[in-house]
Structure formats: C-alpha cells, structure tokens
C-alpha cells in the first residue's frame, strides 16, 4: 500500500472538508457554494488521491457517497434506543379521544393544565418513506439501521452514506460523544418516475409507489445501486447523552420538539420546513385540512400529519405504551383509490416510437383532481392486469400524482367481454410494431411516423429546450398533417405563405411565429442538445455534456470512437453512453445535424464562440445571475436566453459566487439573502443598461 506524503494528506483533508461543506450547502440548504465545474474538478482530484493511497479515505469522505463494494448480507443489530411506531387516527373523533386521554394522564400526575395553558402541540407532515436510525460517535456517522421491529433492525450504513442529505459528519465544533438521529428516507416523486422509466426500458417490474421503491432500494446489497437512485432524507428527532451540555450557548439542549428540529438544522441535517405549532385541537384540525390539498403540490409523497406534544418534560410524564408513544399520534388521510368503469383502451405513440396503452374511464375525483385516463406503461402491465372491455377498475394516484390502474374487479366483468391487448400495427402510421427481446417497450420504428415527428417537434419547441413561443400542439399537428414540416430543420424554412395554409393563422400570428423560430437559433448549446430528444439526455445531463464538449461534432466523435471520454465524466453512466452511441450511429440523425448547421442552427457552445468575439459584453460574460420576482419587459425564459447568449450563467440560488440578482415585482427570500451576502441587486432597467455596455 502506498503511504501518502504530508502534502497529499493535507490536501485530501482540505478537499474532504470543502466538498462536504459543498454537499451540505447544495443538498440540505439548497444554496450552492461551488460551481458544478469547480466541484467536479475538486472531486476528481480527491478520488485520484484516495485511489493512489486508500489510507486517506476517512469515515466522512464524500467519496463514500459513490457506494462501496456490495455486501454479502445485512447484519441484524439491536437499536440503542427503540424505534417506536405511532398510533393512528382516521377521524376527528379519534383525535379528540387521544387528546382527552392525555389531559386525564396529566391531571392524574398532578400536572393540572389551566384554561390558558392547554397542551401545546406541533404538527409535522408524515413523509411516506422508511424510518432510519443514525448513530454518530464524536460527530462521525458510524452506523445506520432500518426500523425492523423497533427493537432490532438491519445495518445499512454503506447504503445510508450514499444519501447526500445525510451528513457523514456533524456541522458542529464540539459534537456530543454520541448522538442518535431518527428520520425518514424517501424517494422524491420525479426521481421515482425516472427510476420506473429506466426499469421499464430494461423490462424490469415497476415499483408501485415511492415508498416501495425506497424500501427496496435501502435493502440493496450493492450501495452503488442505492447511490444511483438518489434518495433523500428528513431528520425529525434526536437522542443526546443525559449529561451533555453544549459549549456553544447558541446550541442549547433542546427542551421541546421545535427546538430539536432547529438543533438538527444547525447540526447539518435536512429538516422539513412545514412543522407548525398548534395551541389547541382546532388549530391541529385546520393544519390537517389545509395540507390535505396542499400536499399534492409537494415534490414528495405524504400520507398524513404527525401530531406531537411539543414539550419534552410533558412527553416524559405522558410516557409510552409497549408499542408507541402516548404523546404522539399520526392523523392519516383517507386512501386515494376509487373504482370506475373502463370506457375504452387507446394507444399513444411517443417521440421515441414507444407505444403506450392508455385506459380511458368514467371520470372520478381522486387526490384533489378529476381524472379520466391513466397510462398502463406497456404490454407486460396490460397482460398482468388482464384488462377486458367494460371492466370495472380500481384507480389510484401513484405517489399522489400520476393516475394508475391498480387492479380489475373481475367479479363485475360482463359476460363474453373481449380481452384487450396491444395492436400489431402502429395506430398512427400502420407500420408493424417491434418489440426487442431485452426490452419491455413495443415500438414503432418508422422514422416517418407522424406521431414520432409530432413528439420530436413538441420537445424541440418546449420551454426546457428551444422555448419557441406560439409553436403549440395544434399548430404542430397541422404542420405535420398538411406535410409542411417533416423534420425539425423544416421549422426554420417556414414562411408566411406556408403558414397561411393553417387554420386561424393570420399575417401577424405568422410573423410572430417565424420570428420566434428564428430567435431560437441563438439559444444555448445545452438547450439544443436537450431538444434533440436523445434517450436519457435530460436538462441536467445536457448541461454536463456541453460543458465537456463544446460542439455536436466533438460529442459525436467521442460517442462513436472514444466513449471513455464520456463515461469518465462525473454523473454520466453507461446507459447514457450507449444511448449517445445509438443516436449518433443513425444516418437520419447525422443528416438532421447537417441540415440544422446549414440553416444556421449552430450546435455549438455560444459562450466559447463569443469569447473569441471582441464585441462580447464584458459586463455579462462569465458573470453569474439569479432572477427573482415577476418581470415586465421579459419572460423569465427570454431573460435567461439573453444572459446565456452573452456568455453569462444562470443559477437558481443566491451564493457568494453570484454577481447579480435581477429583481422584478413581488420579490421573495432571494432578495434578503442577496442583501446579506452583499450581492449586487439590479432591476430590469439596470439590466438593459448592462446590455448596452
């Protein structure tokens, strides 16, 4: 084993400390302190040092986030402090019974509550995930375990280390000798959708909901699989040594649940911000009712509200049953399932050619919205359901967002009803559908299929891509049906005479659309790459790739001839490399690249191109901008495009690296943060002046 030099040891510690701070700022505080490119460079340096000298790897090294070697099996361990479950309440009456029981308990304990001193409670959203117990010794994470039966769980430390919102070391100068933290691991809704999409492409069984996906992930023997699924974590309780007293007076020993949550935040944990103090049951009920609707807008799944007595001394007096604390209860929302009648099965063809069966049914009100259709993913799911004509089906919202058909009530099936299956031919172009042996998806492989073309055009014109104002679904449908457009490149050859063939397209509308299409030529390189619709290349991956490859030619050559140059990029996996190879190897795609270049849609880095232009606006070039509030002169996307075209950078959060905050009407918390960090604050008029310089 190589022994590290003093310089290497010192440098590794510096990198570990800085990268841990950057991870905490990004994943917990949502306030980045390092540019992505800077973080990636420092991270690669650390990995290289630790690879050369494994003895440099510390218990809190950020390299552990990658996941280590697969475990042979999980070890059963005894919890230092039991993980109690919670009693549930499904109605106001059950909540009132629980509260009355607490009052009686306190009265019998000679802790009589006056009318002006009712039991103060704290309400926290019940995250629909999996409970974890985290153990820290002298501020370092040494063990993580699942709940199990509450007394014993399974040790999953290597898996927990891959969750970026779990601190590997506490953000405290003088941490306690030991600390037990309890919280909920979960998979955000968007991540859940992405995981299922990948599983579907691999012909693997889909997860039913984010909670099941999280549970299955935490029990993976390979930590690298856990790392790839990007779990998140909210902490909600702490257990400290009885004799521990902080040296820092600002970090007082918590005396109630609200101060415990604040303590956890200071120590470096991510805490759900929606906790609320309630003085009485009426306020608890109002909180519960308010979030029954609002929770559907959250980026994670919730299934209720946890109500706790806030004061720790009162909690101790009230005590526990054998299974649960008496001082807490979980108010559960009703199950979001409903039965309805199937009307018909239709089929969608996406921009990749994938054919998706869609169940259309009698409208039902579910999880806050009215729904009348649900996708069935693929033929395998359709066969599993064994769907027949006029079936009565049970529908729910997966992750409380996406409607899905859970099962069929076969007892209500009409006699002689026909079984439903995927068609043999594409419902759009009538070409024979193809299903590869290693894929779950049935596809139309006709590049001239109108559905594939419509999907490609919609994606190219979408906000995250080229953001072409006025090029909506109805216009695209007409352009394809009338044969005016048969490729993305055809959009840039449109003129008023062509557009005059479309319904409700006057001269002014045509002028605006042509102008919007021409303006899109100047969009940033990463938007164009994303707009091409390459499988697995989302907005984030497009930005990563375009930082490494400043034009489409270099990316194409690397994909086809030097794929290791792509796979070596942090965060880029083999699936993305294979997808790029497949896309660039198709003659029709190479032809599209040539056509776009010929008509002036340059698939290259405008910033690097502009850096060689002596007319580059130095007031904007290489400067970092954040936008807040509602603008009058621009839409946000227009403003972003202008900045990116001038070589500037757009960030979503204020940090020490931000050069300007552009403000509109009704500014939010970013304005205060900019003031605190002395970031220069400008309005729209100020920005226009910058453009003139």
- Please give the pLDDT value at position 185: 95
Q: In which residue are the tokens 């490494």 written?
A: 548
Percent of the chain with pLDDT over 90: 39
Parallel, antiparallel or unpaired: strands 88-89 and 328-332: parallel
591 is catalytic: no
Q: Give the DSSP per-residue string, 554-569.
A: HHHHHHHH-THHHHTS
> How many contiguous H segments (helices) and E segments (strands) does the chain have?
25, 22
Look at residue 200 and tell me whether its pLDDT is greater than 80: no
- Please give the pLDDT value at position 616: 54
CATH numbers and ranges of domains, the chain = 6-66 (1.10.287.610), 88-332 (3.30.470.30), 337-442 (2.40.50.140), 450-522 (1.10.150.20), 525-604 (1.10.150.20), 614-692 (3.40.50.10190)
Interatomic CA distance for residues 572 and 567, integer angstroms: 6
Strand ranges (E), 298-453: 302-309, 328-332, 337-349, 355-366, 369-375, 392-398, 402-408, 434-435, 442-443
For residue 570, name the pLDDT band (cuts at 50, 70, 90): confident
What are 48-63's pLDDT values in tens digits? 888 888 888 888 888 7
For residue 26, name the pLDDT band (cuts at 50, 70, 90): low
Element (H, E) at 650: strand 649-650
- Please give the pLDDT value at position 30: 60
For residue 398, name the pLDDT band (cuts at 50, 70, 90): low
- Please give the pLDDT value at position 335: 64
Is residue 379 within 8 Å of 441, Cβ to Cβ?
no
- Please give the pLDDT value at position 613: 44
Element (H, E) at 539: helix 539-548
Percent of the chain with pLDDT over 70: 90
Catalytic residue among 17, 41, 104, 126: 126
- What's the order of all strands across the beta sheet hosting 88-89? 88-89, 328-332, 302-309, 121-127, 276-278
> Of 3-12, 162-171, 556-565, 582-591, which range is least confident?
3-12
Is residue 548 within 8 Å of 570, Cβ to Cβ?
no
38: which 2 tokens?
């800077």
- Alpha carbon distances (Å) from 80 to 83, 85, 141, 144, 148: 9, 16, 15, 12, 13
508: which 2 tokens?
């002014």
Interatomic CA distance for residues 158 and 59, integer angstroms: 11
Strand ranges (E), 247-287: 276-278
> Of 90-104, 482-496, 590-604, 636-650, which range is least confident?
636-650
What are 502-560's pLDDT values in tens digits? 988 888 899 999 999 999 998 889 999 999 999 888 887 888 899 889 999 999 999 99
- Please give the pLDDT value at position 12: 85
415: region left, alpha or beta (phi > 0 left; psi from -120 to 50 alpha): beta
- Please give the pLDDT value at position 223: 85
Is residue 27 within 8 Å of 61, Cβ to Cβ?
no
Mean pLDDT of the chain: 85
Look at residue 128 and tell me whether its pLDDT is greater than 70: yes
Residues 6+ apart with CB under 8 A from 586: none
Residue 46 CA neighbour count, 13 Å, CB half: 25
What are 212-268's pLDDT values in tens digits? 889 888 988 888 888 888 899 999 999 999 888 887 766 888 999 999 999 999 999
Residue 13 CA neighbour count, 13 Å, CB half: 6
- Alpha carbon distances (Å) from 432 to 123, 379, 425, 499: 56, 15, 4, 33
> Of 84-98, 388-402, 446-460, which range is least confident?
388-402
Between 380 and 32, the more confident residue is 380
43: which 2 tokens?
């991270």
Interatomic CA distance for residues 121 and 65, integer angstroms: 37
What are 616-664's pLDDT values in tens digits? 567 787 788 988 887 777 777 778 877 877 778 888 778 888 899 998 8
Q: How many residues can be counted in the chain?
A: 693
- Please give the pLDDT value at position 104: 86
Torsion angles phi and psi, residue 526, rounded to 5: -65, -30
Between 637 and 301, the more confident residue is 301
Interatomic CA distance for residues 185 and 334, integer angstroms: 23
Alpha-carbon dihedral sign for residues 282, 285, 287, 289: negative
Torsion angles phi and psi, residue 369, rounded to 5: -140, 160
Mean pLDDT of 466-478: 91
- Please give the pLDDT value at position 610: 45
Parallel, antiparallel or unpaired: strands 337-349 and 328-332: unpaired
Element (H, E) at 10: helix 6-23
Interatomic CA distance for residues 186 and 232, integer angstroms: 5
608: which 2 tokens?
């690097």
- Please give the pLDDT value at position 400: 55
Interatomic CA distance for residues 666 and 674, integer angstroms: 15
Strand ranges (E), 187-292: 232-239, 276-278
Is residue 363 within 8 Å of 351, Cβ to Cβ?
no
Interatomic CA distance for residues 559 and 536, integer angstroms: 14
Is residue 653 within 8 Å of 626, Cβ to Cβ?
yes
DSSP state of 161: T
Nearest to 691, CA basis, from 655, 641, 653, 635: 641
Look at residue 608 and tell me whether its pLDDT is greater than 60: no
- Please give the pLDDT value at position 116: 42
Element (H, E) at 145: strand 140-146
- Please give the pLDDT value at position 227: 87
Interatomic CA distance for residues 544 and 539, integer angstroms: 9
- Provide the Cα torsion 171, 175, 178, 179; round to 10°: -40
Is residue 152 within 8 Å of 77, Cβ to Cβ?
yes
Interatomic CA distance for residues 203 and 375, integer angstroms: 17
Mean pLDDT of 464-483: 91
Is residue 478 within 8 Å of 500, Cβ to Cβ?
no
What are 407-429's pLDDT values in tens digits? 898 888 999 999 998 999 999 99
322 by DSSP, 3-state: which?
A: coil
Mean pLDDT of 597-621: 69
- Alpha carbon distances (Å) from 680 to 613, 657, 671, 684: 26, 11, 10, 13
Where do runs of H (alpha helix) occur along 62-209? Answer: 92-108, 157-160, 189-201
Look at residue 117 and tell me whether its pLDDT is greater than 70: no
Interatomic CA distance for residues 277 and 296, integer angstroms: 22
Look at residue 281 and tell me whether its pLDDT is greater than 60: yes
Mean pLDDT of 577-605: 92
Q: In which residue are the tokens 């409380």 written?
A: 400
* Cβ-count burial 546-558 (b if 16+ within 10 Å, e if not): bbbbbbbeebbeb
Interatomic CA distance for residues 363 and 338, integer angstroms: 10
For residue 114, name the pLDDT band (cuts at 50, 70, 90): very low
């Amino acid at each position: 084993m190589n022994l590290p030099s003093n310089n290497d040891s010192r440098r590794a510690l510096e990198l570990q400390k800085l990268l841990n701070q950057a991870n905490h700022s990004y994943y917990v505080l949502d306030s980045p302190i390092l540019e992505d490119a800077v973080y990636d460079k420092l991270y690669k340096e650390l990995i290289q040092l630790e690879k050369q000298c494994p003895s440099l790897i510390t218990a809190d090294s950020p390299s552990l986030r990658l996941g280590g070697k697969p475990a042979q099996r999980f070890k059963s361990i005894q919890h230092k402090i039991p993980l109690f479950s919670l009693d549930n309440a499904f109605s106001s009456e059950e909540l009132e019974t629980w509260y009355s029981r607490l009052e009686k308990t306190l009265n019998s304990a000679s802790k009589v509550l006056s009318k002006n001193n009712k039991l103060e409670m704290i309400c926290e959203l019940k995250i629909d995930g999996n409970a974890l117990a985290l153990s820290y010794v002298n501020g370092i994470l040494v063990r993580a375990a699942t709940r199990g039966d509450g007394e014993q769980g399974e040790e999953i430390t290597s898996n927990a280390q891959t969750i970026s919102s779990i601190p590997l070391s506490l953000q405290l100068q003088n941490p306690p000798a030991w600390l037990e933290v309890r919280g909920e691991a979960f998979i955000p809704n968007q991540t859940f959708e992405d995981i299922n999409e990948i599983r579907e492409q691999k012909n693997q069984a889909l997860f039913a909901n984010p909670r099941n996906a999280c549970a299955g992930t935490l029990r993976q023997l390979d930590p690298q699989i856990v790392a790839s699924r990007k779990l998140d974590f909210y902490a909600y309780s702490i257990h400290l040594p009885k004799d521990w007293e902080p040296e820092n007076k600002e970090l007082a020993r918590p005396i109630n649940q609200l101060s415990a949550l604040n303590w956890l935040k200071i120590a470096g944990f991510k805490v759900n911000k929606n906790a609320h103090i309630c003085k009485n049951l009426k306020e608890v009920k109002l909180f519960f009712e308010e979030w029954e609707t609002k929770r559907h807008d959250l980026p994670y799944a919730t299934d209720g509200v946890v109500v706790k007595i806030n004061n720790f001394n009162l909690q101790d007096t009230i005590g526990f049953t054998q299974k649960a604390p008496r001082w807490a209860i979980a108010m559960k929302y009703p199950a979001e399932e409903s039965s309805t009648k199937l009307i018909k099965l239709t089929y969608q063809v996406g921009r990749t050619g994938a054919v998706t069966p869609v169940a259309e049914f009698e409208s039902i009100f579910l999880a806050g919205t009215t729904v009348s259709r649900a996708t069935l993913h693929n033929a395998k799911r359709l066969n599993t359901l064994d769907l027949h004509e006029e079936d009565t089906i049970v529908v729910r919202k997966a992750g409380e967002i996406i409607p899905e058909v859970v099962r069929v009530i076969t007892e209500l099936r009409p006699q002689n009803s026909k079984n439903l299956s995927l068609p043999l031919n594409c419902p759009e172009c009538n070409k024979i559908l193809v299903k590869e042996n290693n894929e779950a998806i049935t596809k139309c492989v006709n590049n001239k299929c109108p559905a594939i073309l419509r999907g490609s055009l919609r994606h190219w014109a979408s906000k995250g891509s080229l953001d072409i104002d006025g090029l909506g679904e109805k216009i695209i449908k007409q352009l394809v049906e009338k044969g005016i457009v048969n490729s993305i490149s055809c959009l840039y050859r449109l003129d008023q005479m062509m557009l005059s063939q479309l319904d409700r397209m006057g001269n002014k509308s045509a002028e605006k659309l042509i102008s919007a299409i021409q303006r899109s030529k100047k969009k940033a390189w990463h938007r164009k790459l994303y707009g091409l619709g390459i499988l697995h290349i989302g907005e984030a991956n497009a930005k990563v790739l375009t930082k490494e490859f400043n034009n489409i030619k270099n990316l194409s050559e690397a994909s086809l001839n030097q794929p290791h140059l792509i796979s070596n990029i942090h965060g880029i996996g083999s699936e993305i490399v294979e997808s790029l190879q497949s896309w660039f190897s198709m003659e029709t795609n190479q032809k599209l690249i040539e056509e776009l270049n010929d008509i002036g849609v340059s698939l290259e880095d405008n910033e690097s191109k502009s850096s060689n232009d002596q007319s580059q606006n130095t007031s904007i070039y290489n400067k970092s901008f954040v936008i807040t509030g509602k603008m009058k002169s621009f839409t946000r996307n227009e403003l972003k495009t202008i900045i990116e075209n001038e070589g500037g950078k757009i960030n979503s959060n204020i940090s020490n690296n931000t050069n300007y905050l552009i403000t509109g009407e009704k500014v939010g918390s970013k304005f205060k943060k900019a003031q605190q960090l002395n970031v220069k604050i400008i309005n729209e008029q100020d920005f226009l002046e910058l453009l003139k310089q």
